Amino acid sequence: MTDERRRGARKARRRKAVAPAAELIGDALAAHGLGEAVRAHRLITEWRELVGERIAARTWPDGLSKKLLWVRVANSAWLHELSMLKGQLVVAINAALGEPRLVDDLRFHIGARRRVDDDDALAGAVAALRRRKKVAKLPLPPPAQGEALKTIERDAAAVEDDELRQLIRSVRVRHDR
């Protein structure tokens, strides 16, 4: 067989093996036993899209065990209101996350849960997010001095409005490098 024919045969084999990336990723996750864990983690990463801005602003997925999703709620008024919307929320969550059903029921609570099951699919991720260190803000540079300050003063003097001129000057003195 010539080199050209071998290359053609390899290309033909590759074309038969072409599959959508989502399918390949799903297969790889399933092969390593991570498919359900990733789906459960989507409850955290996609919470706003799953329940909407209004609800997401006052709630947080706090745990998932045996298809029971624990949801932390801001206050008792929201706990009561969401209890009436429980069925709709379960349907919306499962529709977005696909089959098999990930959530059968919701349990709303205020404050931290007292007991977390060993098989909770979200508790570890939620705890890790809470432990994650905040990125330290960089210190501001020193205020402008010398020639830089004179340039700022000259530029700001061209602005007619007193309030705007002072604002531009103070921002540039503090932040120009």
Assigned CATH for 34-131: 3.30.300
Are 101 and 67 in contact by the 8 Å Cβ rule? The answer is yes
pLDDT of amino acid 26: 75
pTM of the model: 0.55
The ranges of the chain with pLDDT < 50 are none
- How does pLDDT run across 121-143, given as a tens digit for each residue? 676 666 666 666 677 777 877 88
Helix axis angle for 123-131 and 35-45, nearest 10°, is 50
Are 43 and 64 in contact by the 8 Å Cβ rule? The answer is yes
- Give the DSSP H or E segment for 120: none
- How does pLDDT run across 154-173, given as a tens digit for each residue? 999 999 999 999 998 988 88
pLDDT of amino acid 119: 65
CATH 3.30.300 residue spans of the chain: 34-131
